[in-house]
Amino acid sequence: MDFGLSEEQDLLQRAAREFLAQECSPQFVRALLDDEHGFSPELHRKMAELGWTGLLVPEKFGGLGLGLLDMALLLEEMGRAVVPGPFLFSSALATFALLRGGSSTQKKAWLPRLASGEAIGTLAFLEASDRLDAAGMSLKARKKRDGYVLSGTKMFVPFAAVADVFVVAVRTGGKGEKGVSLALVDRDAPGLTIQPLDIFDRTRRVYEVQFKEVPISGFLGKEGKGWKLVAQLQDLACVALSADSLGGAQQALDMAVEYTKVREQFNRPIASFQALKHMAAEMVSEIEPARSLVWYAAYAFDTRASDASRAASMAKARLSEVYTRTTNKAVQMHGGIGFTWEHDMHFWFKRAKWNEFAFGAAAYHRERIARFDGY
Amino acid sequence: MDLAYSKEDEAFRKTVRTWLKANVPKKDKTLSDLPPNDPQRIQRAKDWQRRLYAAGYVALGWPKAYGGQGDTDIMRQTIVNEELVLARAPGLIGASGLTMLGPTLLQVGTEEQKQRYLPKVLSAEEIWCQGYSEPGSGSDLASLRTKAELAGDEFVVNGQKVWTSGAQFSDWMFCLVRTDPDAPKHRGISYILIDMRTPGITVRPLVQMTGDAGFNEVFFEDVRVPRENLVGELNQGWRVANATLFHERNMLGSTTRTQLMLQNLIRLARRHSRYGQPAAEDPSIRQQLADLTTRVEAMKYHSFRQLTDATKGRQPGIGAMVNKLVGTELNHDICALALEIMNSYAPLNRGASHVIDNGIWPYEFMFTLGLIIGGGTSQIQKNIISERGLGMPKSR
């Protein structure tokens, strides 16, 4: 048994940390807060050059052919640097959807472009009902003479404004899981309207996407058989977001500890006060075991272990709370300055809240764990 | 990362499972009604460890020369631990010898000491207790005052220890004593081994909040200890003790026991009804059960990660510093939820009519609070994590 990272994985993570410290500093993130799309094509291109956008893509389509554990290590570093942009949604979610569900034509059309960073994908999943189950997928796909058209609205679609291709969960018939299909939609398709939603985490832009008789370019997998892949994408998203949260929590802790060592009150560094030391120690005691949970969830996904979904829920349940608690404490350890726009801490504080609710908050996943465990 | 079991591992698991099925002691109602330290229960516990050891399933990693299996494969160690949980096997009475003294002797003991003591630790022929805390030295352990003066080839020990678990049935004590009263407090301490039958030792039981006398005061009056019972160098005991404390903290935070408690808790929740429905159907209980399950799983993988680091010869990092803090609080939280589930039945004592699980939950609820305090309180653990782990300065 080996519950540890390989040398290559260590190296990947270290290289990612160094690259992002250089290329995605807090000043860089701050500048992107005011960007129209919250996205830097140049950073995306540089990440593509390192092979990151193609991390999950098999070599024959121009990628590195690695797994979710490798991706999780990368995402941990992206969470640490609170990288703005569509990477997680494009290079993990949309890419995996094509990889698992795409026909060979669809794969050939999209995977090389996603891997090279030339194209960006995203997942259009939630609707106004904010439901995560199959019953929440009500966007209608109607069969016409030359294919299907979509009518309805998807909500909270990440980085829709810069996406070239949408993976859309739609209803092709019936009720429940049976009538759910996964459709592929080109951004140029007629009838597509993309409206930004003004949200407090400017590093994670979301949009309302309206479909008016929008033709799809095809289904991923068979019509009416899309739910299984949607469920898998949810597991993947849980692990990916947990990895991002883990890195973010670690960074918030590191920043808070550094600050308390420098800041003096009562003629001594405030890091010498037990009230603050104990806060920091509590953060460590939550983050360290959580790291092992994220690693296991990624490993279980990669190896298709029988408890992969349960492990994904555990990671998401735990990290949803740990990240929020850690950033909350980190802001407090900074005192008044931590509450200002000028200080960077709110980047992580807000990202924690975004990650907490996306793809199910802690309570949702705990109920899911209870069911997996048969009570 | 590779958690797959090899064919050999699976075969090994089967052997262990078969053996445990045939050998784990059956529940004995007449015994479980007795207090935990009753001589009959102690004897039965020794018998259990001896049989488990004879089968080759105790401390697999210890070298063969000292009675161990010389098997450092962490997979097999993990399999044994997992199977012990699944078989609901009782804990080991020689745990303090196995997890605290043993690793210390293996690290710094002389060849004679290892030969003399380790085999009997394994077989439970000799049970060990820990002589650290004193009435005036709790969290500030290094201020301890029990003194040992060298007189020829012997130490003469005078003083008092307190909170000594199992002293009334232990054969030996590993003990911290002051051997140089003039040196700075950390540099005048030695680590010695004391035969509990030596004249001049008085053991007086202390009754805990559980009502049992689990720990004791131990008094030393001109107790003579051979010089060869010194472990490590004279006046270097603090360093030796720190190694032991690290092992103790890992034992107190052990995940095997926690997993078993969690299993029992879920069983209880399924079986016991309150407010008109089985507790396991109450949304708030379900939330808490799943939360505890998640935290227990996290600690399980966290321990796998540390085992892997250890076999690869990596230094334990900040992650290992949280084991005691997180593990003991998790155990207590599990018991607290059990009491919440049992509701009006929670306060019933062992032996009472209508008692659930023979009172083990309220007993453990109290006992595990003791573990949060013993071996360095949670607050001391937080000091250690923040100072040694994060480099935050000492408080003034």
The sign of the CA dihedral B302, B303, B306, B308 is negative
CA atoms of A86 and A114, how far apart (whole Å): 12
- Give the pLDDT of residue A23: 98
- At B89-124, the pLDDT tens digits run 888 999 999 988 999 999 999 999 999 999 999 999
Per-residue pLDDT of chain A (375 residues; tens, 9 = 90+): 789 999 999 999 999 999 999 999 999 999 999 999 999 999 999 999 999 999 999 999 999 999 999 999 999 999 999 999 999 999 999 999 999 999 999 999 999 999 999 999 999 999 999 999 999 999 999 999 999 999 999 999 999 999 999 999 999 988 899 999 999 999 999 999 999 999 999 999 999 999 999 999 999 999 999 999 999 999 999 999 999 999 999 999 999 999 999 999 999 999 999 999 999 999 999 999 999 999 999 999 999 999 999 999 999 999 999 999 999 999 999 999 999 999 999 999 999 999 999 999 999 999 999 999 999
Q: Which of B126, B248, B329, B364 is catalytic?
A: B248
Query: Cα–Cα distance between B385 and B322 in angstroms, integer?
Result: 7
Q: When comparing pLDDT for B275 and B81, which is higher? A: B275
Going through A259-319 in order, the beta strands assigned E by DSSP cover 264-265, 268-269
Helix (H, G, I), strand (E, B) or coil at B63: coil
Q: Model ipTM? A: 0.96
Expressed in percent and rounded to 5, the helix, strand and coil fractions of chain B are 55, 15, 30
Tell which residue, B21, B103, B10, has the closest CA to residue B62: B103
CA distance B86 to B191: 38
CA distance B353 to chain A (A): 28
List all residues of chain B from 45 to 74 with a beta carbon under 8 Å from chain A. 74
Record the tokens describing residue B349, joined without a space.
């004592």
DSSP, collapsed to helix, strand or coil, labels residue A160 as helix
Best residue of A12, A71, A268, A292 to probe chain B, by most B CBs closer than 10 Å: A292
Q: At what angle do helices B323-342 and B283-311 cross, to 10 degrees?
A: 160
Amino acid at A33: L
The number of C-beta contacts closer than 8 angstroms across A and B is: 160
The Cα angle at residue B252 between residues B247 and B254, in degrees rounded to 5: 90
User: Residues B295, A289: contact at Cβ < 8 Å?
Assistant: yes
Interchain CB distance below 8 Å, A271 and B393: yes
**Residues on chain A touching B266 (C-beta within 8 angstroms):** 373, 375
Name the nearest CA neighbour of B373 among B209, B235, B230. B209
Q: What is the structure's pLDDT at A177?
A: 96
Question: What are the residues whose beta carbons fall under 8 Å from the beta carbon of B104, sequence distance 6 or more?
Answer: B174, B191, B231, B240, B243, B244, B247
Position B74 scores a pLDDT of: 72
Instruction: Give B5's contacts in chain A (Cβ within 8 Å).
Output: 1
CB contact under 8 A, B1 and A299: yes
Establish if A266 touches chain B: CB-CB under 8 angstroms.
Answer: no
Measuring CA to CA, which residue among A62, A163, A162 is closest to residue A113? Answer: A62
Distance from CA of B253 to the nearest CA of A (A): 13
Is the pTM here over 0.90, yes or no?
yes
Is the CB of residue A347 less than 8 Å away from at least one CB of chain B?
Answer: no
In whole angstroms, give the CA distance from residue A359 to residue B287: 18
Q: Which two tokens stand for residue A22?
A: 């250089």
CB spacing of A274 vs B74 below 8 angstroms: no
